[in-house]
């Protein structure tokens, strides 16, 4: 009897440990982070688009939480992506310019996100996650800067700032240039990369990235640990190239660029639908946090629509860096909700790591915060924190900064503007003359933020480098000078 009793105790203890292990596993969700490139605020159905249909994305957004005031840290691709993966503003790391593909401007061995900046992927990898990156990188092409060296177990994509979409076209051009002995070949037509090896792709790029993500989800289902997938579609970034079957869906759109752009967004939507189906087939759907975001605002010159926001990609107006976003995780977050408080892409790093029960390095500086509890409780996560944007121009800087309901903006050499952004999302009225003290205080706080900036590690053009070395950039004193504060009366 005593032997049977001990056996029962062991059986009970083993079952208890197994149950506890499953519970712990369930507490650590899979994380699927879908990032689009240059997607406009109004170019998805869940944000009000009437001409571009996105049924798969809309379904996830409507079953999850839509963020109406989501911001990225910079209005251009490279700096924004660097901020997402490092959790820091790009100006604090010297990464405020896009990496240039032109070799005359690109010392590849020394141009990439600083190695002392630990990516979120590395922290998640160290926490036991199986980590993958698919698509656009744009964070350094030398081996030491590539995804497999920055915390990703698996990578499939392209290292530059963009890529052509149809393999039968770009591969032909690539071979032509190789045979001609051309030394500089644009990265948009280079072969795709799989863990450091060239591959010959056969599918439309958006579909290829979807395929690879689905394959990885299947693989992850055989592993005991959760997964983190960084799916960085290059759509709808130029060149505007869409499949005929997707173009037919938008035959009613007369403008050619808009029609092609819409079809490219639709290809992403189709892909996300397939990925969701794969998650369900592998019984991983319920325990997967899906986050959808754009890296910056849409480009007016290439078919995008940021309505009702003012401005375009590259601007410190809302349209430059306020982006469509949702989180889908009904098991923990609820469904069918809107979160109107401002959040930043910088918040994703600490939020993901804490969900994964990872350990952030002691010396790691983060500019965002874990927003999960605030999202659950519908409370303001940045009540005391300003959310910033600054873009270097030739001889001045464009600046935007938001605190609660209020936003300050300076574009070009125009005076500073103050807007109640919750009442005036289109930034039409300048309230600086009515509330000069509020304006001055926010400008002063923003100038203080720049004290932590460092000189860029690279420049997008020779002109930028020349101006910086001559002291004509960044000209913070001129940007924040008091006499540029508007004292014009505000129209009622």
User: How many Cβ atoms are within 10 Å of 281's Cβ, its own excluded?
Assistant: 13
Q: Rounded to whole angstroms, how far apart are CA atoms 419 and 406?
A: 6
The question of whether 74 is a catalytic residue gets the answer: no
Taking the C-alpha atoms of residue 125 and residue 118, their distance in angstroms, rounded to an integer, is: 11
Q: Are 139 and 161 in contact (CB under 8 A)?
A: no
Nearest 5°: the CA angle 305, 311, 314 is 100
Q: Identify whether 36 is a catalytic site residue.
A: no
Which of 100, 138, 163, 328 is catalytic? The answer is 138
Instruction: Give the count of beta carbons closer than 10 Å to the beta carbon of residue 224.
Output: 8
CA pair distance 358, 441, nearest whole angstrom: 37
Instruction: Find the catalytic residue in 36, 74, 77, 100.
Output: 77
Closest CA to 350 of 324, 372, 325: 372
Residues involved in catalysis: 77, 138
């Amino acid at each position: 009897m005593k032997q049977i009793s001990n056996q029962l105790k062991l059986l009970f203890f083993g079952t208890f440990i197994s149950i506890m292990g499953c519970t712990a596993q369930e507490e650590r969700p899979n994380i699927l982070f879908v990032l689009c490139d240059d997607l406009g605020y109004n170019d998805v159905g869940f944000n009000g688009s009437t001409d571009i249909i996105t049924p798969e994305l809309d379904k996830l957004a409507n079953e999850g939480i839509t963020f109406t005031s989501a911001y990225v840290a910079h209005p251009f691709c490279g700096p924004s992506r660097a901020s997402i993966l490092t959790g820091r503003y790009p100006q604090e790391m010297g990464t405020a310019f896009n990496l240039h593909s032109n070799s005359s401007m690109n010392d590849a061995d020394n141009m990439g996100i600083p190695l002392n900046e630990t990516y979120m992927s590395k922290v998640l990898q160290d926490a036991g996650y199986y980590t993958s990156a698919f698509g656009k990188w744009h964070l350094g092409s030398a081996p030491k800067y590539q995804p497999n060296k920055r915390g990703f177990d698996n990578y499939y994509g392209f290292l530059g700032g963009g890529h052509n979409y149809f393999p039968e076209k770009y591969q032909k051009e690539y071979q032509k240039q190789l045979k001609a002995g051309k030394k500089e070949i644009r990265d948009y037509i280079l072969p795709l990369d799989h863990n450091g090896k060239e591959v010959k792709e056969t599918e439309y790029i958006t579909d290829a990235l979807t395929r690879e993500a689905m394959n990885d989800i299947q693989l992850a289902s055989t592993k005991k640990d959760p997964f983190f997938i960084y799916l960085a579609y290059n759509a709808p970034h130029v060149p505007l190239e869409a499949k005929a079957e997707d173009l037919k869906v938008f035959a009613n759109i007369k403008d050619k660029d808009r029609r092609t752009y819409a079809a490219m967004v639709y290809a992403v939507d189709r892909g996300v639908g397939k990925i969701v189906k794969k998650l369900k087939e592998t019984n991983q759907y319920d325990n997967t946090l899906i986050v959808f975001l754009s890296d910056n605002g849409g480009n007016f010159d290439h078919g995008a629509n940021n309505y009702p926001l003012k401005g375009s990609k590259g601007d410190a107006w809302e349209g430059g860096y306020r982006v469509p976003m949702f989180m889908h995780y009904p098991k923990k977050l609820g469904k069918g909700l809107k979160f109107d408080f401002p959040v930043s892409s910088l918040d994703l790093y600490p939020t993901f790591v804490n969900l994964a029960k990872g350990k952030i390095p002691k010396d790691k500086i983060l500019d965002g915060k874990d927003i999960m509890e605030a999202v659950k409780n519908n409370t303001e996560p940045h009540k005391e924190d300003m959310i910033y944007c600054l873009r270097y121009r030739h001889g001045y800087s464009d600046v935007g900064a938001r605190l609660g309901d209020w936003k300050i903006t300076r574009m070009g050499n125009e005076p500073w503007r103050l807007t109640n952004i919750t009442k005036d999302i289109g930034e039409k009225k300048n309230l600086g003359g009515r509330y000069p003290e509020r304006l001055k205080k926010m400008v002063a706080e923003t100038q203080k933020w720049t004290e932590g900036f460092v000189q860029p590690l690279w420049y997008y053009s020779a002109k930028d480098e020349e101006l910086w070395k001559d002291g004509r950039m960044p000209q913070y004193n001129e940007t924040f000078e008091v006499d540029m504060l508007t004292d014009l009366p505000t129209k009622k």
